[in-house]
A and B are shown apart, each in its own frame.
Chain A
Amino acid sequence: MNIIVCIKQVPDTTEVRIDLVTKNLVREGVQAITNPFDTYAIEEGVRLKEKFGGKVIAVTMGPPQAEAILREAISLGCDEAILVSDRAFAGADTLATGYALSKAIEKIKDYDLIICGKQAIDGDTAQVGPGIAATLDIPQITYVRKIEDIKDGTIVAERMTEDGYEVIETKLPCLLTVVKEINTPRLPSLKGKIKAKSAVITSWKAVDIGAEESRIGLKGSPTWVLNIYTPPPRPKGQIFEGEAQVTVNQLVEAAKGLFH
C-alpha cells in the first residue's frame, strides 16, 4: 500500500507571545515544528506500512527550510520525502495550497491513501485536507480516530463527531484527516535519524507539477488578511484566598448572577 502523508511546518504557537508595548506578536526564538496533528498522520501512515507493506511518502509545501520537517518524517519511518517549494506558491490560502498539493500528488500518481492531520495549529482551518480530496475527486473521511480495517480496497474508519462517532466505509484511494486519539507517535530511532541525515529530499517547483499559474500563490488565493490585531486582554479577576468556606461563599456571591 502506498501512503502519502501531507505535513506542514508551523511556528510553535505555544511559544508565540504578545509584546505588551507594541502589541505585536513576538516571534523571535519561536521554533518551527511539524504541525502536531501531522505527527499522528505520519505515525498512522508508518503503522499501516508496517502492517500492509508498501511505502510512505511525506509531502510538504513551504519555503526551503520546511525541508527540516521532511527529514524528521523520514526519521520517524517515512520512506520518501517531497518538498513542494517555489516562490510562485507564496501567499497561498487554503484553496491554492490544496490545489498545489493535489498537483504534487497527481505527479506521485501511485497512491492508495492520503493522510493529513485534522488541521494545522497556526491557521486552524481544517480546509486543506478536504480541499485536496475535492480537487483529486476522491472520497474523504475527516476527523478519523481509528482505522478499523483495510481489506480488498475498502477502508472502514471511525470518524469523531460532536455527539460521538460514526463508522464510515469507503473505497481506496481516499483521503483521511486524523485526530490525536488515533495513536501515540513514536520517537525517532537512531537508525531513523541516521537515515534522515543522508536522505535525498526531492524538490518540486510549480513547473515540475504542472500547476497553472493562475491557481497558485497570491493569484490563486481568493482570500487574504485585511488586518491583524491582538484581542483585548482579559480584565483582571477577583481571586479569593483564605479559609475554604469563606472563599467559596465569596465566589458564589460574586458569580451567582451569571447562572440562571
Chain B
Amino acid sequence: MSGITVYKDKCVGCSLCVKGCPFTAITLVDKKAVIDLDKCTLCGSCVEACRKFGAIEIVRETTKTPDIEKYKGIWIFAEQRKGVVQSVAYELLGKAREMADKLNTEVAAVLLGHNVQDKAQDLIHRGADKVYVVDNPKLEHLLDEPYARIVSNLIRKHRPEIMLCPATSAGRSVISRVAVQLRVGLTADCTELDVDITDRSLLQTRPAFGGNIMATILSKNHRPQLATVRHKVMKEATIDPSRKGTVEVVTFDPSFFLSRTKVLKVVDEVTATVNITEADVIVSGGRAMGGAENFKMLEDLAKVLNGSVGASRAAIDEGWMPYSQQVGQTGKTVCPKIYIACGISGQIQHLVGMQSSDIIIAINRDPSAPIFNVANYGIVGDVFQIVPLLTKRFKEVL
C-alpha cells in the first residue's frame, strides 16, 4: 500500500522531522512523530531529515512500463532555431555519450525542422550514433503540437531508455506534452546527470527552492526517463569529423504535422546585448545605476569582456532595461562563467537567479551588501567611478 509510515520503535523523538516538514504536518505526541495526513503532501522532506534514524518511510507502488528491459539507448532532442542546431544540443550529446558508454548503449539525436537534414552529420561528429531526421516545411517553427506528436511517435516505435531535452522555452513546452502523451516522468532543469548501471536508472539532479537545495530525482519504473537540462551546465561534445553514424530520414502522414497554433511572426529583439541565457559573461546593473542612460557604461564593460548586459528586478521595474534582461526569481536564471553585479545589493530574489554562476564579481558601495557573501571577487566603491576604470583596465590587459 502506498503511503507514509513512522516506525515508532526507531523514532527517538528528536523533532528533526518536525522542523524539516514544509507543511507543518508533523507533531510529537509522547515523544514520537505523528503525521497529520490531511496536511502531508508526501514530499519526502521528513524522510530526508530522519535519514540517520530511518524511522520514516514512504512506500510507493507505482505502475511499471511493460517490457522495461526492452528500452535501450539514449536520445537527445537536437533543438534548432531557424535551421541552426543550438549549442545546448551539443552539450546534451556530450552528456549522453558519456552515459551511453557507461551503459554500453547507443546515442541517437532527434532532429526536427525544415531544411535541416544536412545538420545530421554535425550531430554524428559530436557523438551521435544515429540521427532521426524529420524534415518538413511545417516543422520550420517549433510548434508544440506536431513536435510533441512526432517525438512521442518516434519514442513509441524505437523505445529509448532515456531522452534529454534542452530546458529552453521551446524544449520545456514540447517535452511536457510528450511526457503526458507517454505517461512517463519528466524532470525539469537538471544540472547534473548520471546513470546507475545496476538498474539503468537516470539520476537527475536539479536545484529546487530557488537553488537553496539540490534534489536528486528518479523515475526508475518508467521508460523513457525524460529530463530537460539547463543550458551552459554540461560540457559541449567535441567534434570528431571521422566519427561515423547513420542518418534515418523519417516521414510521417500529413496528420502528424497539424497544428492548432500558428506562428504569425518571429521577432528577434536585437539590442546591443546578446541573449543573457547564452552569454558567458554577464554585466548586470541594479537600482544604484540610477537611470537607463547609465546602463551605457555597463554595455561598454560588457563589450570589452564579450558579454551581455543584465539587470536586477529593481532596474527592470524602473523601466531602465527590458524584461528579457531580468535576472532573478521572476526573471531568468542564468549561469554564466562570469557574472558581474554592479550596484546590486543581492536580495535573495536576485541571488536565486545567478548564484550558480562559476565566478561572481560584485561592485557595491556598501561593504555589508549581501552580494559580497556570494562574490568570488569584489570592490567596495561607487559604480560610476569603478565601472569606467574597470572597462579601461580590462581593455589594456585583455
A124 within 8 Å of B by Cβ?
A: yes
Closest chain A residue, CB of each to CB of B364:
A239
- Complex interface: chain B residues within 8 A of A163 (CB): 81, 268-269, 275
Cα–Cα distance between A235 and B326 once the two chains are bound (Å) = 26
Whether A251 lies near B377 (C-beta < 8 A) is yes
Tell me, rounded to whole Å, the shortest Cβ–Cβ distance linking B369 to chain A: 10
Q: A95-B180, A134-B148, A166-B263 are in contact. Are A142 and B379 (CB under 8 A)?
A: no
- Complex interface: chain A residues within 8 A of B272 (CB): none
A171 within 8 Å of B by Cβ?
A: yes
Instruction: Please count how many residues in chain B sit with their CB below 8 Å of the partner chain's CB atoms.
Output: 118
- Complex interface: chain B residues within 8 A of A220 (CB): 62
Whether A14 lies near B39 (C-beta < 8 A) is no
- Complex interface: chain B residues within 8 A of A247 (CB): 379-381, 386
- Say which residue of B3, B216, B278 sits within 8 Å of A226 (CB atoms): B216
For B193-225 the 0/1 string (1 means CB < 8 A from A) is 000000000010001111111111111011000
A53 within 8 Å of B by Cβ?
A: no
Q: A139-B145, A171-B260 are in contact. Are A123 and B188 (CB under 8 A)?
A: yes
Give the tally of cross-chain contacts (CB within 8 A). Answer: 336
Q: A134-B180, A237-B372, A237-B378 are in contact. Are A167 and B267 (CB under 8 A)?
A: yes
A2 within 8 Å of B by Cβ?
A: no
- Complex interface: chain A residues within 8 A of B356 (CB): 231
- Complex interface: chain A residues within 8 A of B352 (CB): 13-14
Cα–Cα distance between A33 and B260 once the two chains are bound (Å) = 35
Whether A226 lies near B212 (C-beta < 8 A) is no
A98 within 8 Å of B by Cβ?
A: yes
B136 within 8 Å of A by Cβ?
A: no
Cα–Cα distance between A218 and B41 once the two chains are bound (Å) = 10
Tell me, rounded to whole Å, the shortest Cβ–Cβ distance linking A137 to chain B: 9
Cα–Cα distance between A251 and B270 once the two chains are bound (Å) = 32
Cα–Cα distance between A221 and B218 once the two chains are bound (Å) = 11
Tell me, rounded to whole Å, the shortest Cβ–Cβ distance linking A30 to chain B: 7
B170 within 8 Å of A by Cβ?
A: yes
**Which of the 9-residue segments A72-80, A125-133, A186-194 touches chain B?**
A125-133
Whether A26 lies near B185 (C-beta < 8 A) is no
B176 within 8 Å of A by Cβ?
A: yes
- Complex interface: chain B residues within 8 A of A222 (CB): 62, 183-185, 219, 221-222
Q: A165-B267, A218-B42, A238-B377 are in contact. Are A11 and B22 (CB under 8 A)?
A: yes
**Which of the 9-residue segments B91-99, B239-247, B329-337 touches chain A?**
B329-337
Dominant SS among interface residues on chain B: mixed
Closest chain A residue, CB of each to CB of B260:
A139
Q: A36-B329, A169-B262 are in contact. Are A234 and B188 (CB under 8 A)?
A: no
Q: What are 23 of the A-B contact pairs (CB < 8 Å)?
A: A18-B213, A63-B38, A90-B40, A94-B176, A121-B329, A125-B189, A130-B177, A139-B145, A142-B172, A163-B269, A166-B267, A167-B263, A169-B264, A218-B61, A222-B62, A223-B217, A224-B58, A228-B45, A228-B216, A237-B362, A244-B385, A259-B394, A259-B398
- Give 9 A-B pairs besides A64-B38, A127-B188, A162-B278 with Cβ atoms closer than 8 angstroms: A16-B209, A91-B42, A95-B184, A127-B176, A142-B144, A164-B269, A222-B62, A258-B359, A259-B398
User: Which residues of chain A have a CB within 8 Å of any CB of chain B?
Assistant: 11, 13-14, 16-18, 22, 24-28, 30, 36-37, 62-65, 87, 90-95, 98-99, 121-127, 129-131, 133-135, 138-143, 145, 156, 159-171, 174, 179-181, 214-215, 217-231, 234-235, 237-241, 244-245, 247-249, 251-252, 254-256, 258-259
User: Which residues of chain B have a CB within 8 Å of any CB of chain A?
Assistant: 2-3, 16, 19-23, 37-45, 48-49, 58, 60-63, 81, 141, 144-145, 148, 168-170, 172-173, 176-177, 179-181, 183-189, 203, 207-219, 221-222, 259-270, 275, 277-278, 281, 305, 323-324, 326, 329-331, 333, 337-338, 347-349, 352, 355-356, 359-362, 367, 372-382, 385-386, 389-390, 393-394, 397-398
